[in-house]
Amino acid sequence: MRYYPLLLDLNGMDCLVIGAGEVGLRKIRGLLQCAPKLVTAIDPALPGPELAALLATQDNFSYEQRPFADTDLDRAQIVFACTSNRTVNAAIGQACMLRRVLCNMTDAPELGNFVLPASISRGDLTISISTSGASPALARVIRQDLETRYGPEYETLTRLLAGIRADLLALGHSSDENREIFRRLAASPLPELIKNNDRHACLELIRAVLPTDLHPRIGEWCDDCCPTV
Mean pLDDT, consecutive 10-residue stretches, the chain (229 aa), reads 88 97 96 96 95 96 96 95 95 95 90 90 93 87 95 95 95 94 96 94 95 93 80
Axis-axis angle for helices 215-225, 153-170 (nearest 10):
160
Non-local (6+) Cβ contacts of 19 within 8 A are: 42, 43, 80, 81, 82, 83, 84, 89
pLDDT of 225 reads 85
**Region label for 103, one of left (φ > 0), alpha (ψ between -120 and 50) or beta (otherwise):** beta
Non-local (6+) Cβ contacts of 180 within 8 A are: none
- Shared domain check, 94 and 126: no
Q: What is the CATH number of the domain that holds 91?
A: 3.40.50.720
**What is the tens place of the pLDDT at every residue in 190-202?**
999 999 999 999 9
**What is the tens place of the pLDDT at every residue in 116-145?**
899 999 999 999 999 887 888 999 999 999
pLDDT of 211 reads 95
* Main-chain dihedrals φ then ψ at residue 89, nearest 5 degrees: -60, -45
Out of 97, 132, 150, pick the residue that ends a domain: 150
47 neighbors 108 (Cβ within 8 angstroms): no
| Residue 195, domain extent | 153-225
- Shared domain check, 104 and 46: yes
- Shared domain check, 2 and 111: yes
Quote the mean pLDDT of the chain. 93
* Alpha helices in the chain, H assignment, sequence order: 22-32, 49-57, 86-99, 136-149, 153-170, 175-186, 190-195, 199-209, 215-225
pLDDT of 5 reads 87
Tell which residue, 210, 214, 211, 204, has the closest CA to residue 226. 204
pLDDT of 1 reads 73
Number of helices (H), then strands (E), belonging to the chain: the values are: 9, 7
* Main-chain dihedrals φ then ψ at residue 223, nearest 5 degrees: -65, -35
Tell which residue, 65, 63, 68, 100, has the closest CA to residue 81. 68
- Shared domain check, 94 and 20: yes
Q: How many domains does the chain have?
A: 3
- Shared domain check, 112 and 5: yes
> What are 119's strand-pairing partners?
128
pLDDT of 224 reads 85
pTM of the model: 0.84
Secondary structure element (H or E) that encloses residue 18, with its range: strand 14-18
Out of 104, 126, 150, pick the residue that ends a domain: 150
